[in-house]
């Protein structure tokens, strides 16, 4: 007698964790309004990483801020496990999507200890350190930081350590989806590699689903399963990372790849065309 598939298991296996459908975002009002994203659609299966690339002003950060509820879509839908994503409200909303910022130092309150900041991420209403010390120690251990440092302040940590703290804070509420927004751009190459290896390890251990925003295609090739390319608010390329790097379908993607040292298209004696 054959087993019958559980409908909930079938749904989980076939429904992407995140689905963005025809997302359009306009910022500003009246005559000052401008369309930043136009009919953007993509899926991110659970446990996978989609890299979002494009030049400054392409709409990458606007997309990220829309996913965490800072901006409201003008049209289109954002679905998590097939259900519309609701604006974050308190602890339950924060547990759905979390963002790791580009500049962790400015995102931490310098008057609060690491323990106080992580306690607030764990429980925004009460934010009590005492009952949360064991969980805070666990979070710091997950990002390879000494739990004994939880009573120190952000300025007492190096840039790479602060980025690890930001990752720990993002993981604190147990999010279903994580956005990493240019998180290695301000770090030296050695520290970049350490943070990327940490993300790879966390992804394996925690089955993280991630949107990785970057302008660095060498990094993208290292961390992502698939890649999406934005150009002036339009999604011009979407596909598996290996196939996209080997045979891009859009001239702009080919131009970006031509600027990556080590890529066969890279030319030191030739400036990429301006788009």
Work out the average pLDDT over 118-140.
Answer: 92
Structure tokens at 212: 């990785």
Q: Compute the distance between CA of residue 21 and CA of residue 148 in angstroms, rounded to an integer.
A: 45
Q: How many CB atoms lie within 10 A of CB 96?
A: 21
pLDDT of 274 > 50? The answer is no
Domains in the chain (CATH in brackets) are: 15-257 (3.40.50.300)
Q: Quote the distance between the C-alpha of residue 204 and its chain's center.
A: 16
pLDDT of 223 > 80? The answer is yes
H-assigned helices in the chain: 7-14, 60-67, 90-94, 104-107, 114-122, 129-142, 159-171, 189-206, 217-223, 241-246, 251-257
The overall average pLDDT reported for the chain is 86
Residues 6+ apart with CB under 8 A from 8: none
* Alpha-carbon distances of 261 from 184, 204, 216, 267, rounded to whole Å: 18, 28, 11, 8
Reported pTM: 0.85
């Amino acid at each position: 007698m054959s087993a019958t598939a559980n409908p909930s298991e079938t749904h989980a296996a076939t429904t992407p964790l995140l689905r963005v459908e025809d997302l359009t975002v306009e910022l500003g009002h009246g005559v000052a309004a401008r369309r930043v994203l136009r009919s953007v659609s993509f899926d991110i299966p659970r446990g996978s990483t989609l890299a979002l690339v494009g030049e400054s002003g392409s709409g990458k950060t606007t997309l990220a801020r829309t996913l965490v509820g800072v901006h409201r879509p003008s049209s289109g839908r954002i679905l998590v496990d097939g259900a519309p994503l609701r604006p974050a409200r308190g602890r339950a909303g924060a547990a759905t999507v979390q963002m790791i910022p580009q500049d962790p130092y400015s995102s931490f309150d310098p008057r609060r200890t690491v323990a106080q900041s992580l306690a607030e991420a764990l429980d925004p209403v009460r934010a009590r350190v005492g009952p949360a010390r064991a969980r805070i120690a666990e979070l710091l251990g997950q990002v390879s930081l000494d739990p004994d440092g939880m009573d120190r302040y952000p300025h007492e940590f190096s840039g790479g350590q602060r980025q690890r703290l930001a990752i720990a804070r993002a993981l604190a509420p147990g999010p279903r989806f994580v956005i990493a927004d240019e998180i290695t751009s301000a770090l030296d190459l050695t520290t970049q590699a350490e943070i990327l290896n940490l993300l790879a390890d966390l992804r394996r251990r925690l089955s993280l689903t991630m949107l990785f925003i970057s302008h660095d295609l060498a990094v993208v090739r290292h961390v992502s399963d698939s890649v999406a390319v934005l150009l002036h608010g339009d999604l011009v390329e979407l596909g598996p990372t290996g196939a996209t790097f080997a045979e891009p379908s859009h001239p702009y993607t080919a131009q970006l790849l031509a600027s990556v040292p080590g890529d066969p298209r890279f030319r030191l004696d030739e400036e990429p065309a301006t788009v």
